[in-house]
Structure formats: structure tokens, C-alpha cells
Structure 1
């Protein structure tokens, strides 16, 4: 994948790192669950149980799945990488930001941070104004029987094959007259539905009819799909200078050897300038597959776990996902007394070690932007070592789309924050060069803390583990206060989801947190993170429940205005639809949040 963090991580685009699969199932084992791929699990006891971080064999425990990774945290948010956004005229523009902070849970520990951002003329509205380069696109659709399942955690979701067909139809609207498009389906064998054809010559209505008739059945051999796509790409004439890409819609229910052969072919194609995008529909791609795709030039991936999220992604991010802007990006520290400690924001930075002076990305893609000019997943973050007060110097090099090598040197200077500069406990004089890096640091600390808490809840029972668990519980209120303060300073309602989950978990595990002050209530109400109390109600004037937890006043569905509302929408948590209307609606009627999960409730 590479680039501005996990730009294609739809797992959290629409769950917005929401841990949206908080599915409760009963489990009588005290053994920790096995974390697979990008998911960590923690056991959460019934509130009436003891406070042990593990359970006895006789106890029932709710197993709650969390989707929390540094990549998903970043991809769920937009970042300001410069104080005043400026239109870009270049294809690829690297920039550096820095911060010097004090750890909110250990005020004696100072930390230095580096943010690396890549801007492009194709970012945001630039893609619409300039228009992406022409494309030879072959879409490969998995029609094996497992595609007849719904999305895990969404009780009312359509089957994956039906969602994929809808998304293909949305993708077709993104094609331009000079693009070429082909469609292949596969289970244990492959079938060409549409040969690679210039879009202006395509009989679109006939193609749509063929797509709507597709059904899923049989086993899965994904290698047959990519082999048919390769044959199709080979028919492209030499005079056609459009970019070549194969896009896979698949749940990757494949055997190990088939998966290895598949990724080998993707890497071989990349060397021949045939790039791939993989959308893992309804489940996580294996971490080994993610790792290999991330390091393969021109390729990217997505984990898709909701129908609404997938449709929104295809409709709004297709053009960014098929337009690489830089290859073989290398970030090098050239100053003597500086180095990296760790990196966050893309799988390619997972291997950054303490003392490293360089890292690399295979590919960078442009990004979507919000109305404030902030860039989705627009920053890579590094903990840094700085042994003196001198400027930290960098050399960034990259290949453009034509293979021409470019290089840019930059430097930045830390302003050290000290313990003496702290205003009071829990609040410090940390220094941030831009707000984007402040937000990124907050999300890394949130992810660190959440993963630590999950780990403690999974530990086997022992005196040492109980002590560690109690230490984390004791730190919990302090971390909540830190997160709340930063969220208010940043004035970012998007952080409300993470804040809500901190409060939810504290409530579930009987962890006391500080009541909101009057000023904090006003701030969170203005940001719509908590609801403003009704003007006529005094009993609810001190409510600090996260937005969406309260029931709506009306008892009937806001769509049909007939049936009783009985569907809880995630992530917004509004209850405003009946079970007949809910499957037909992709965005919450009250707040327009993309729906990732629908759960029937009894009011």
C-alpha cells in the first residue's frame, strides 16, 4: 500500500476506528483469544463479576472484538499538515512537522516526534479539477459460495456478492470515455464477462444486466482470476499509454498455496507496470498478504467490513486509489545525533527500530480531503531520538511516475518541553508545529493505551498480572482526562468516537472517571460529542452520555412513519429506523453517518 498511511484501510473508514465489531458472544474459557491479522480481542466480564483480569473456568465472559491498529486509527481521521492549506501544483510535495511533548501518564518522560506528510495536486478537489490519468482497468470478482454470506457483525447486511455488484455499478460511473474496462469472475474457474473494451464503445446497459445476473457458488481458486486478468491486460495495444490496474473484490477464502501464488503474480505484474488493488470483502486480509502488497510498487489494499463503507469508498475514493503519485520513497535522517525510534501510519513502518536513520515506502497515493482542507490519513508519525538541540536534517528521495528520481532536503528544530513548564497536573506546555501532528500523537497514545488495556484483560491470573492490571485501571481516568482535553483543544468532533469508547469501557469495567466540568460540557456539546439537554428538561442537564446513546423522542420509524423503531445504528448509535427500513438505508437519517452495523433492540 504505502503512502500517506493506510489510505485504503476501509476497516475503519466508516467504522471510524469504531471497534465497530463489538460483538458479544459467550465464552467459558479463561484462555486469551488469538489475535489474527489486524484484530485484537479482549475479554470483558459481566459487571457483577470479580475484578480479576481473567475468568475462572466457571465464569461466563463476553468476548468483545476490537479493530484497533495504528493504521486504522490514522485512516479514520483527517489531518492538517500546514497551518494554512495552500493549493498544490506539483505531483508530489513532502513536508516535515515536529513536536516535543511530555507523556501524560509519565510527566518525567519527554518525547520528540516527527511528522512526514506528502501533498499532491491530486489531493482533495484537485482530482476533480485536473482529472486522473486514463486507466486500463480489469475488475476481478470473487463469486465463490462464501460470497453469499453477510458482513460479520451487521445483522441486516446484504450478502457480500450483492454489495459487490452494487459497488461495481458505482465504479462504472467513475470511468471516463478513454478508459478501458474488463470484468472477470472466478470461483474454481474463471469466466470473462466483459473483454477489455474502451469505455466509450461499451454497451453499458448490457454490461449492467450481466452484472445484476451474477450469482455466487462453488469453491475458490483466486489464481485463475488473476491469470485471466493478465491475459486481458496483454491485449492492450502498445500505443495505449494508460495506466494498467487489476482490482480484486474477494473475501480471500483461499488456501495457503493459492494465496502465495496469487501474491507472487501480483509482484510479478508490478515489475511489468501492471498494478493491483485488493478489497478484502467482509474480513481482514491476512497480515502476510498485507505486508507483501504494501511493499509492492503501485499496489494497495482495503479491508471492507460494511456494505455502506464499501459503497462510499468506491464512490468517493476510487480515483485516488488508482493514481499513484510517487514510487520508492526514501526518508533519510542525515544529521548525526538524530534517529527514529518507531513509526506509525502504514504497515511499512512497523519494522522501524530504535536507532534507524532511514525508512522507505513503496508507493504513495493522493488523498481525499475534508471541507477544511485536512487530508485523510495525511501524516506518517515517528518517535524520534534527539541528542542535541541542533536541527534534525532529512533527505527525501522518490521516483515519479516516469521513473525520474527526485530529491529534497529539509530540516526541523525541536523546542524542548520540560516538567517545569507544566501548568498543572495532566496539562503541559508541549510544543506542536502543526495541529495535525498533535492529533496523530493523540491517536498513537490512544491506540497504545487501548492495546495495553486489552492485553491486561487477557492476562492469566497471577499476583504480578493483577498488579499490572490495577496499575492500568488506575491510569485510566488520567488518560481519559488527557484525551478529553486534547479533543477540546483540537476542536475535532471526529475524535468523539474514540472518547465514547473510553467512556463505554470505563462504564463496563466499573472504572470511575471524572465528571465533566461546566466548560467541558459546553465544549463537547458544541462539538456534538454529547447531546445538549432539552430546553424544558432540568433532570438531564448534566448528562454527559456520548452522542446517540439517548433514545429519540419519537417511537416510530423516521422513514416509514408507521412501524416502531427498533434498530440501533452503528457507529452513531441512533435508534430511528424499523427493521423493514433499516436494510434499505445506507446513512443515518439523523446525522448522515455511514451505517456500518444494524442491531435489533427491544424498547
Structure 2
């Protein structure tokens, strides 16, 4: 391939109605490196990077139904743009450029340092631009902007604004060479003189770089379905799939008239319990905080909603919903075409997203981001009443899975779309994923920071987990952030039913930053249940980032309780005081302090705390068993270990492998005692709903019997 002189002075008009489309112009060599072009199209999204004092942004312009063009606002000419409006039409003028990773490479090395050489291009004409382009994952060819102007557009009629994934075409290379190691500028003449003959060019692939009084419930997990479903399918669940707040939310707890008559969103109530644990034999003391509200369901009305759905379309989403993408050895499970289930994670996610769109009001706004190795804005934010929603749901069902999992870029694209919305509207990202990132930002703390930073700006997140192998630990960390919550999709129809009951509640956090301090003499805090990632500081303080409204019926609400377990430390006269404070928004902070008389002997103030106690005991046993079973998965029950090291796999810390159920004789005995305890308590409080946990224990005990017979 020869080198072409692409220094041109004319401006080529590239619009949806112009002589050429973008891809046709590139592929047909009408435009190439350095060509000045004018694009007219719809602004979709903006990504910004900061390096030292330099600010650079990548914006995406939709110029026709099939084509998205990346446009760089260079560090020298632009600050971060806050005036760009998603869905509005803009005219962009600038030069065609090529990404540093896609510029042609020379087979020779740098004469100065021996480093690799690449074609010098437009990205090298502005200081910091090449670094910014790499950081922002810009496509192979893009436009370096000189001018950008908004164009008026009529948005009155309903619009199908779905944007298919962009097609990538390669520009024609030109120019000098740049050493990627030392930065030396090397000419064709230098290389010819050094090595002799005509320069040879190689094209490198570009790296592919989600009315009764209302009850309240804490954020975080909203069910324990993933845990139960793993056991049903014969797998050991991840311990974090049994989050206590999710387990509690699966049950209803009685609401209690509060002694506080002030008009507060949150009116806490308190109950006590003391009883011997039949599994451990130890006497335990519990205190519960009931999460009630003075707000009635008839008074509750959620604000207008700006929601961006982020849909994971990575390769793991193509796997069957009820199986693991990686087996117990960490090897990817390849499924033959004739064995593939019709119910994949991708299909369940698409059906669930379609169900979610049915819950939106006419003045709500919806956007959609698809992500695999790279994020793609498939639908800009637009109000529902002017959008052809049937067409959008059809596009969603047509989405196919493949590629890596770049959760960070998917989240960032959604956050950018919501950054400039009106402050009196609720802003929420609904992230639908199996939470197994392997590209881009993959560290858990970095992903948590992304969600927390967005929450600090008023954008909250709902995570919707897909598949038995969903990374429950990462989902637990992310949903513990202020304003966040997490649902697991067992089936699209079940999720649709829950959306019909709870959608307005799941997107409307009411109370923030609840702090619970337990001041004790003679006791210490030994555990806390019903709170995401409970972190007890010095055994005293418990922080809850968010309280959501909870569905209430016949004097009961879902998940409306926090439970604290106390341990007696001495025989002197004990005392316990609870101190609570919380934020109700708009500068309103409230609090209360109560003294608690700890009961002696067997005692329960009510059925609510009694149910919470039995569920906390169940949760402790099952989480401990799941941790044990996963830790010994490499050994059989005789202690003999298979230590053969096979081929190295690419599975990272977030990609979960399956672990077949195993149960020791000691755990089988504990399960029998726990089962008897739950059956007894269910009778005492006249609550048959606890039978679902009895069924889980029966399933585990059935595995024990099968193992015994097989031996």
C-alpha cells in the first residue's frame, strides 16, 4: 500500500442528505486523513477526560439512521461543553483524523531508540490530543472539530430515535511516522536511508478498548431469588446473593403506630427480643428498628423521571439464563447450537427492559445505552409522549450479545446523558447486567466510585441482575451506594409483575443517610441485619445510605425492619440507648433518641421482630455454608485434592464459575435443626410465607441423601 498525499483545502459536505454518507466517503476514498468536512446530525452523547489542566471531550453525532461519527473537541480550542442537548441537531466542521491505535505501523523500528513506529497524523497536530483520543476510546476515524453550531429541529411528531451500532471503516493513511516510545519524528526518507527500499505499511487492528401509611425499606438488594435459584439448579450460591436486606424484603412486616406525631417522612418504631438460639444454644438479645412513615400511599407521588437504561450486550449475556458461563474449573462453557436455551440472559434482559418502558409516564424521558467492549448510545433521552415506543421496544428485542464487558464506559455514557437534566426531576440509571466486567474499568472500588460520584450529583442507580452467575458481590457493593438498589430477574414475567407493584417506589428514594448509634453498658453490638454491607464502627454506629418507600397492604410493608444483635459482656446493671438521625432532603434533618429496657428470659415484643430474628438465623447459617462450600470446591469430602493445573483461563475476579452443591455431615445436621426451628416459628407467628425457606432446606437435605446413597 502506497502513501497518499491527503493535504486538501476543499470542504466536503457530509450529511444525511448530502452527496456521500460518512462510510461511503471513507470507503470510496472521497475523504481521508486531513480532509476538511462538514457534518450535520443529532447530538447523542459526550465523554470528557481531564489530564492535568487539559480538558478534552469526545461527542457523538448521528448523521443518518445507521451511522454515528465521533467528534473530538480539542484541548486547545474547547473547555467541557455543558450546552449540548441530546437529540438536538448540530453542524460540525473540522478535519478527518485517525486514532493513534489505528494509524499504520512501519515494519522498521525507530532509528533513535529502536521503538515501534506509527504513521504521524492529525492527532499529533495538537498537544495532548493523541493521549485524549486513546483515553476516550475514540473510533478508528473521527473529526477534529473547528466549529459546532446548533440547528433548529421540529420535535412535535413521534420519533423512532433508535441508533444502530456504528459501523467502523478505516481511513486512508498518510504522513510521517512517530515513535510510540521516545516520540521522535521520523520521515520516509530517514527510513529508506536507514533500511533501503520502499517503506512498507501495516494496518494494526484498533484495540476494542445499567390509602395506608407507607412503609420504608433500605436500599441495596430487593430479593434473595438468585440464592434460592442457584440451589434449585444444583449450584452453590455466592454468599452475597443472600443479602439480609434482600431476604427481609421478600417478607412483609407489621407496621406500628409511632409515638412521634410530627409530620416526618420517617417515623421509626422499636421492638425487643430475647431467646435462645436452638441451633447454637446461645441466648441472644435483639433490638429492631421499624421503618415506618407518616406519609400515606394516597399522598405519595413520584416526580417526573429521566431514566437511562444501560443494557449489557457482552458475550456472557448470550449464555442460558439458568446455567453458568464458566464451569467449576474456570473454563468457558461452550454450548452447541442444538443445546442452546431459548431463554438466554440477553433475551430476559431485553424482555425486562421492554416491561420497564411500559411503566413510564408520558412526560418521563427515556434513553438507552448498549455496552460490550465499548458503550453505544442506542437511544437519546426523549420524552415518552413524542417517542414511538412500540418501535423502540422492537429494537430492544432485536439486540444481540457479543464482545467484552466494559461496565465503566456503559455507566459513564448514561451519566453523561443525565448530567444536564432539570434538577426537579428524578434521574435514574437502570443497569441491566450479569456484573462480570473484563474490559476498561474493572476494579470494584473504581466502579463503586463511578456510581457514588453520580449519586452525589443527584443521579441514582438501579441494578437488575441477570443469570444464576451474576456477580452478587459486586452487585452488593454497587447497590450499597446512596440512592441505589438491586433486583434479580428470575423471569421477565415475574419482573414485570414487580414493576407493576413497585416501579414508582423503586425509583423514588425518600430518606438518606440514616445513622444508628447504639450506646451500651454491659452489651456490645454483635451483628446487624437488613442493611447493605453493614459496617459497624467500634461496635456502635450503623450507616444506611437510603430508605425507599415500600408497598404496604393490610398493615404490613415489605422489608421494613433493621435488626441489631447484642452480646452480654458483663453481669453488671446493663443499659442500652438508641440514637438515630437522618436526612429528608431540602435541608431537613431529623433525629430521635430512646432508652431500651433489655428483657431477660424468652421475650418478643411482636411478631415482626420474631420473624426478623428467625430470618437472620437462617441467613447466617446459609451464608456460612455457601462460603464453606465454595472454599472447598477443589477437594472432595475425603480431603483429597485434584491439584492438576490445566490450561490458563482468561476468567477474572468478577467472572463467577459454577460450584456443584456439597454438604458435610455437620452442615446436614445444622440444616435439620434450622428447618425444625423455622417450622416451629412459622406456627407460632401464624405465617406460612416462611415455607419458602423450608423448601430451600429440603432441597439441600435432598442433596445430602443423594450423596449418601451414591457413596
TM-score range relative to shorter protein:
0.5 to 0.7
CA contact (8 A) 1:348 1:361 kept: no
Alignment of 1:260-275 (within 5 A): 260=443, 261-275=446-460
State the secondary structure of the residue aligned to 2:555: coil
Query: What is aligned with 1:4?
Result: 217
2:705 and 2:680 map into 1 onto residues whose CA distance is: 22
Moved more, 398-407 or 450-459: 450-459
1:446 to 596, 611, 618: 618
- Matched with 2:692 is 497
Q: Which residue of 2 aligns with 1:559?
A: none
Q: Could you tell me which residue of structure 2 aligns to residue 356 of structure 1? A: 539
CA distance in 2, matches of 1:139, 1:461: 48
Measure how far apart 1:490 and its partner are: 1.5
How far has the Cα of 1:116 moved from its partner? 1.6
Deviations 1:505-532 (A, max 9, x none): 4455459xxxxxxxxxxxxxxxxxxxxx
Where does residue 251 of structure 2 map in the other structure? 77
Report if the CA contact (8 A) 2:303-2:425 is conserved. yes
Distance 1:176 1:91, change over 3 A: farther
**Distance 1:153-1:226 versus aligned 2 partners, 3 A rule:** closer
> 2:275 — aligned with what?
101
CA contact (8 A) 2:367 2:379 kept: yes
CA deviation string 1:57-99 (max 9, x = no partner): xxxxxxxxxxx55444323222224389999964222222110
Residue 607 of structure 2 is aligned to residue 435 of structure 1: yes
User: Residue 262 and residue 444 in structure 1: after superposition, are their counterparts in 2 closer, same or farther (change >3 A)?
Assistant: closer
- Answering whether residue 585 of structure 2 is matched by residue 383 of structure 1, we say no
Name the counterpart of 1:23: 233
Secondary structure, in 3 states, of the residue corresponding to 1:4? strand
Q: Distance in 2 between matches of 1:303 and 1:504?
A: 21
Query: C-alpha separation between the residues in 1 aligned to 2:493 and 2:505?
Result: 19
Residue in structure 1 matching 2:586, options 399, 402, 405: 402
Using the TM superposition, give the Cα deviation of residue 394 of structure 1 relative to its aligned residue in structure 2, in angstroms.
Answer: 1.2
Deviation for aligned residue 1:382: 1.4
Give the match for residue 488 of structure 1: 683
Q: Is the 8 A contact 2:310 2:370 kept in 1?
A: yes
Query: Which range moved further: 192-201 or 79-88?
Result: 79-88
1:474 positional shift: 5.3
Which is bigger in relative contact order (C-alpha 8 A, separation at least 6)? 1
TM-score, L = length of structure 2: 0.56
Partner of 1:316: 501
Give the SS at the match of 2:499: helix
CA–CA distance in 1 between the matches of 2:472 and 2:230? 20
Aligned to 1:531: none
Contact 2:239–2:626 (CA under 8 A) maintained in structure 1: no
Aligned 8 A contact 2:323 2:469 in 1: no
Q: 1:448 to 1:157 in 2, by over 3 A?
A: farther
Tell me, in whole angstroms, the C-alpha distance in 1 between the residues paired with 2:699 and 2:668. 14
Q: Greater Rg, structure 1 or structure 2?
A: 2
Q: Does 1:258 align with 2:460?
A: no
Deviations 1:315-367 (A, max 9, x none): 33222221111111100123544431111123332x337x6121111112122
**Residue 391 of structure 2 is aligned to residue 181 of structure 1:** no
Q: CA deviation at 1:435?
A: 0.6
Superposed CA deviations along residues 140-184 of structure 1, whole A, max 9, x for unmatched, are 112233322231259966222222222222222222233222222
Matched-pair contact (CA < 8 Å) for 1:93–1:119: yes
Counterpart in the other structure of 1:247: 430
Please state how far the C-alpha of 1:471 moved relative to its aligned partner.
5.9
Distance of 1:453 and 1:482 partners within structure 2: 17
Return the alpha-carbon distance in structure 2 between the equivalents of residues 215 and 88 of structure 1.
53
Matches within 5 A, 1:207-226: 207-226=392-411
Give the corresponding residue for 2:347.
162
Say whether 1:132 aligns with 2:315: no
* Residues 479 and 177 of structure 1, relative CA distance in 2, 3 Å threshold: closer
| Equivalent in the alignment of 2:107 | none
Other structure's SS at 1:120 match:
strand
Task: Name the Cα RMSD after superposition.
Answer: 3.5
Q: Deviations over 1:237-263 (max 9, x none)?
A: 4xx511221111122232175233543
**Equivalent residue pairs, number:** 444
Q: Distance in 1 between matches of 2:348 and 2:261?
A: 36
For 1:146, which of 316, 328, 341 is the aligned residue? 316
Alignment CA distance shift 1:7-1:309 (3 Å): farther
Contact 1:81 1:379 in 2 (8 A): no
Whole-Å Cα distance in 2 between the matches of residues 205 and 503 of structure 1? 44
- Partners of 2:604 and 2:514 lie apart in 1 by 25
Residues 530-569 of structure 1: matches in 2 within 5 Å?
none
1:406 is displaced (CA, Å) by: 1.4
CA offsets, 1:257-281, max 9 Å, x none? 5233543322221221221222121
The whole-number CA distance in structure 2 between the counterparts of 1:241 and 1:37 is 39
- Contact 2:515/2:581 (<8 A) preserved: yes
Superposition TM-score, scaled by structure 1 size: 0.65
**CA, structure 1 residues 453+168, in 2 after alignment: closer, same or farther (shift >3 Å)?**
closer
Task: Write the distance in 2 (CA, Å) between the matches of 1:215 and 1:470.
Answer: 45
Gap change, CA 1:186 and 1:87, over 3 Å in 2: farther
Structure 1 equivalent of residue 382 of structure 2: 197
Q: Deviations over 1:519-562 (max 9, x none)?
A: xxxxxxxxxxxxxxxxxxxxxxxxxxxxxxxxxxxxxxxxxxxx
Q: CA deviation at 1:192?
A: 2.5
SS of 2:221's equivalent? coil
Q: 1: distance between equivalents of 2:670 and 2:376?
A: 57
Structure 1's 270 and 504: CA in aligned 2 closer, same or farther, altered over 3 A? Answer: closer
Shift of 1:433: 0.9
Distance, in Å, in 2 between the alignment partners of 1:281 and 1:88 is: 42
1:116-127 equivalences in 2 (<5 Å): 116-120=289-293, 126-127=296-297
Q: Which 5+ residue runs of structure 1 have no aligned equivalent?
A: 26-32, 40-67, 418-429, 463-467, 512-603
The separation in 1 between residues aligned to 2:489 and 2:261, in whole angstroms, is 31
From 214, 217, 240, give the equivalent of 1:38. 240
Is 1:367 the equivalent of 2:550? yes
How far apart are 1:133 and its partner, in Å?
2.0
Alignment equivalent of 1:412, drawn from 596, 610, 613: 596
Whether the aligned pair in 2 keeps the contact of 1:105 and 1:475 (CA below 8 Å) is yes
CA distance in 1, matches of 2:518, 2:454: 32
